[in-house]
Structure 1
């Protein structure tokens, strides 16, 4: 009888692991999509909060 319980416990654990893997994968996909959308929608900013207009490395005379 313990053999049956062990098998069902292993199957239950495997099923749970599969559900968790699937949920984590979907969550990661959603978070990556959100990050891409935010990056595309917002203009980039420097550390001081000013907008980066492509002037990095240029020196004003």
Structure 2
């Protein structure tokens, strides 16, 4: 696979950093979602909202 260079120096380095950051963020979000799913009770109660009742 060849890297495409942009007109700016270091352009592909930035793209590589962005790609790595995105991958790390997605992994983190998936781990958080798995943790929430593991903690979730089998039966959920309706949430009580705060504020004035109408």
Instruction: Give the TM-score range, shorter chain.
Output: 0.5 to 0.7
Count matched residues.
Answer: 40
List structure 1 runs of 4+ shifted beyond 3 angstroms.
none
Q: CA RMSD in A?
A: 1.8
TM-score normalised according to structure 2 size: 0.62
Higher radius of gyration, 1 or 2: 1
TM-score normalised according to structure 1 size: 0.55
Structure 2 unaligned spans of 5+: 1-6, 47-54
Structure 1 unaligned spans of 5+: 1-5, 50-61
